[in-house]
Amino acid sequence: MARAPEQEPEHHLSRQMTPALDPTTGAKAEPLRRLWPAAIAGTVMLALFNAQGLEKWAQRLPDSAVSNWIIVGSFEWKGLMEKLGPARLFEDVRRAFRDFRGA
């Protein structure tokens, strides 16, 4: 009886990805606590430079006393970031990127 040719198993990240291309192969498992500095830094960067996105996110929260407080805070934060400059910088970079893509 002839054996069926062996096929490589489907990859857990993508059907198209072969195990040779897997970026997690040989990666060392890290505890979740090592992620917190990056998560905090990313959140701070978004709060500083994407205050408009923070405001939009807050406006989509379900109605409650807490979400109303967050909405007011995000509106005031956006105004402060526009006044100080980081929000304008974000919009300038976004506009430049759109112009570059459209060219």
Question: How do the pLDDT tens digits run along the chain, 103 residues long?
Answer: 555 555 555 555 566 667 777 777 788 888 888 888 888 898 888 888 888 888 998 999 998 989 999 999 999 999 999 898 888 888 888 889 899 888 6
- Alpha helices per DSSP H over the chain: 36-49, 51-59, 65-84, 86-102
Q: What pLDDT score does 71 carry?
A: 93
CB contact at 8 A, 81 and 48:
yes
Q: What pLDDT score does 75 carry?
A: 93
Q: How far apart are CA 85 and CA 46, in angstroms?
A: 14
CB contact at 8 A, 70 and 93:
no
Give the position of tokens 């406006």: 59
Q: What pLDDT score does 77 carry?
A: 92
Give the position of tokens 């205050």: 51
Q: How far apart are CA 86 and CA 75, in angstroms?
A: 15
Q: What pLDDT score does 9 carry?
A: 53
